[in-house]
């Protein structure tokens, strides 16, 4: 008799989007949902952290410059807390020092707004594969 697949394999991965610009959140929500992904959007890093989503997100897309906690600070906070969710950062001000800092903190993507949808999709797919591999590796350790 076959066993039922693990719930993780039948539930769409959650992609969290954190951006203070409502239009960007809506556009990314539409794009990612069109790919069959579950999307949770937040207007601030603080709202994201106050939700249950950080524990279950398979990918985080965050704006670098927001009021309050920046996307870079959010990434640092998550890493410090032991959350290895793959992070993709985006900004309207793509300065080299920000790109270097994002890379040093482990961001898997850094996009200048406006960006090409297909490039972001490729990056999100890479993030989801990385997250799935991490989950599989952790299950193997248990």
Residues 104-129 have a mean pLDDT of 94
Confidence (pTM): 0.88
**pLDDT of the residue at 136:** 74
Say which residue the tokens 């999307």 belong to: 39
The band of 2, judged by pLDDT with boundaries at 50, 70 and 90, is very low
Flag whether pLDDT at 10 surpasses 90: no
Mean pLDDT estimate for the chain:
88
Q: Distances from the Cα of 82 to the Cαs of 10, 42, 65, 69, in angstroms?
A: 26, 21, 23, 18
Average pLDDT over residues 92-109: 91
**The pLDDT of residue 59:** 97
**pLDDT in the model for residue 27:** 97
Amino acid 124: pLDDT: 96
Could you tell me the residue ranges of all domains in the chain? 12-141
Domain 12-141 is found in CATH 3.40.50.2300: yes
In this model, does residue 44 exceed pLDDT 90?
Answer: yes
pLDDT score for 94: 87
Among the listed residues 43, 20, 27, the one whose alpha carbon sits nearest the alpha carbon of residue 117: 27
Give the residue ranges of DSSP H helices in the chain: 7-10, 22-34, 45-50, 71-80, 96-104, 117-141
Q: State the pairing for strand pair 38-42/14-18.
A: parallel
Q: What is the mean pLDDT of residues 122-139?
A: 84
């Amino acid at each position: 008799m076959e066993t039922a697949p693990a719930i993780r394999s039948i539930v769409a991965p959650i992609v969290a989007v954190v951006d203070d610009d409502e239009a960007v959140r809506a556009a990314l929500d539409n794009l990612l949902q069109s790919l069959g992904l579950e999307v949770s959007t937040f207007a601030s890093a603080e709202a994201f952290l106050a939700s249950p989503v950080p524990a279950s997100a398979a990918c985080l897309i965050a704006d670098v410059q927001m009021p309050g906690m920046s996307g870079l600070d959010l990434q640092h906070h998550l890493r410090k807390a032991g959350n290895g969710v793959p992070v993709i950062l985006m900004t309207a001000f793509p300065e080299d020092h920000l790109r270097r800092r994002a890379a040093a903190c482990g961001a898997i993507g850094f996009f200048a707004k406006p960006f090409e949808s297909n490039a972001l999709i490729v990056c999100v797919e890479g993030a989801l594969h990385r997250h799935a591999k991490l989950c599989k590796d952790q299950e193997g350790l248990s």
